[in-house]
Amino acid sequence: MLIGIDVGGTTTDAVLIRNGEVYSTAKVSTEPGNLLSSLLEALDAISRDIPPDQLERVVFSTTVITNLIAEGKTDRIAMLLIPGPGINPTSYTFPDSFYLKGAMDYRGREIQPLDEAEIRKTVVLIRELEFSRAAVVSKFGQRNPSHELRIEEIFREVYPDCKLELGHKVSGKLNFPRRIATTMLASATRESYQEFVEKIRKALKERNIRAPVYILKADGGTLPVEKSIEFPVETIFQALLPAQLEPLPLPRKGDIRGSGYRRDHHRPCVNPFRQASSGF
């Protein structure tokens, strides 16, 4: 049996899939200030009288990260950026940015060394400005992360209490501005999201549910809940996905087995809770 739960703005919907068919559904009101409560209420409604050991998978769709960003409840992040030659960094609009000397080329070869005195001065300033979090992103850091790693070492010496995020660990994409935004949001939301996941784990344990738990991603894939802590931004905008999948029906009695099409709708039968996780 599979359980899928979508936390929407007005209602939280749950579905129980048994032998590839919709077995039961549930709908509860969403509490905007307490999404976890809505999620667990829907879980209890759909799994009532179902032995926990019969559950094979639980998939959640949640707006936790989206809400944190939209409501401005994320922490401020000091962004240490190493743009190297090319576009004028002042054209970027990222808040609280500090631009540093140093550069790698597109093959990961160093073409300009770091200015460690400048870095230490910047880290001291970040500490004086009382930033609790910082992120380091270099343009070609995914090709050669040595500059980001060296800055991390300096942070550990000068400001060890600062929680640091490194761009090359968050994304391997070449798009520099997008990697900056992704790293900034990952740093800003990670702790709150981790707290949310821990509450889910505790609630499932209390209910003796030991089935694997997944989080729906915005691209239609699923991510193991443990992995989602490393990549919390993968869940941004995923609340829009269920609305796109909703018109695609699940198989019911009378469907044409094996063809992948329903006799009455002539559309592919899609089970979003069985989709494999896609690559980053």
Contact 167, 142 (CB under 8 A): yes
Instruction: For residue 136, list its beta bridge partners.
Output: 80, 166
| Res 42: pLDDT | 86
Query: What does the pLDDT average to over 223-228?
Result: 83
Pick the closest to residue 98 from 119, 72, 74 (CA basis).
Answer: 119
On the question of pLDDT at 224 being above 50, the answer is yes
- In this structure, the number of other CB atoms found within 10 A of the CB of residue 266 comes to 8
Query: What does the pLDDT average to over 207-213?
Result: 88
Pick the closest to residue 81 from 65, 96, 59 (CA basis).
Answer: 96
Q: Is 77 helix (H, G, I), strand (E, B) or coil?
A: coil
Q: Is 117 helix (H, G, I), strand (E, B) or coil?
A: helix
d(CA 235, CA 6): 12
* Residue 257 burial by Cβ neighbours in a 10 Å radius (0-12, 13-18, 19+): exposed
CATH of domain 2-70+194-245: 3.30.420.40
Higher pLDDT, 182 or 236: 182
pLDDT tens string 181-204? 889 988 888 887 888 788 888 888
d(CA 173, CA 280): 9
| Res 29: pLDDT | 87
| Res 154: pLDDT | 97
pLDDT tens string 68-116? 777 777 788 999 999 998 877 777 778 899 999 999 999 999 999 999 9
Q: Is 54 helix (H, G, I), strand (E, B) or coil?
A: helix
* Backbone φ and ψ of 80, nearest 5°: -100, 110
Query: What does the pLDDT average to over 155-175?
Result: 92
On the question of pLDDT at 278 being above 50, the answer is no
d(CA 102, CA 99): 10
Q: In percent, how much of the chain has pLDDT > 90?
A: 31
State the amino acid at position 213 in one-letter form: V
pLDDT tier for residue 122 given thresholds of 50, 70 and 90: very high
pLDDT tens string 20-43? 888 888 888 888 777 778 888 888
